[in-house]
Amino acid sequence: MQNYDSSAGAGFMSAFIGAYFIFILFIWALSVAGMWKTFEKAGKPGWAAIIPIYNIIIMLEIVGKPMIWILWLLIPCVNIVFSVWLINLMSKSFGKSEGYTIGLIFLGFIFWPMLGFGDAKYVGPSAAEAQNGGFGNNPFNNQNNPFGNQNNPNDTPPPAL
């Protein structure tokens, strides 16, 4: 029976795992540095990028979405849709397009530093709620006056067909 020495294989495997860990740590640090600078561009604390749930809360503040989104981001399967939506609103808050959103999703370690260290300017919250002051593009979003403007009623009849 042959006696195999497995120490050479174990040494190679531990070196491979160690190199892989350092590579992943470098990718993570690159993404966090880009997210840190992106948060600072939006006037938020950069250190929030390293706190797991708090960074999502800060992203919601940057894009102008309500805090109920935290709940949606915790529900399995629903969180995928809302995460993509949140990242899309994040890129639009810096004047970028949907193509940039795809980059943030699939190559975040490249696109977050580009957003943070690049020439992108924070243009304000991109969510319709933040721009409208209400809930989306709903014309009935005035919560204090549910019957519309009574000083200027719309008394015009509908067009005759």
At 5, the pLDDT band (50, 70, 90 cuts) reads low
Residue 43 lies in a domain: yes
Domain count, the chain: 1
Predicted local confidence at residue 109, as pLDDT: 94
Residue 1 lies in a domain: no
- Contact predicate 46/37, CB 8 Å: yes
Q: What is the pLDDT of residues 63-81, one digit of tens each?
A: 999 999 999 999 999 999 9
Number of H helices, E strands in the chain: 7, 0
d(C-alpha 143, C-alpha 132), whole Å: 13
Q: Per-residue pLDDT averaged across 2-12, rounded? A: 73
d(C-alpha 36, C-alpha 126), whole Å: 19
Domain that includes residue 72, residue range = 12-132
Residue 75 lies in a domain: yes
At 23, the pLDDT band (50, 70, 90 cuts) reads very high
Residue 23 lies in a domain: yes
Residue 121 lies in a domain: yes
For residue 94, the tally of other CB atoms under 10 A from its CB is 20
Residue 54 lies in a domain: yes
Closest CA to 111 of 22, 35, 60, 55: 35
Global pTM value: 0.72
Predicted local confidence at residue 7, as pLDDT: 72
Residue 147 lies in a domain: no
d(C-alpha 111, C-alpha 24), whole Å: 16
Residue 27 lies in a domain: yes
Tokens found for residue 109:
């370690």
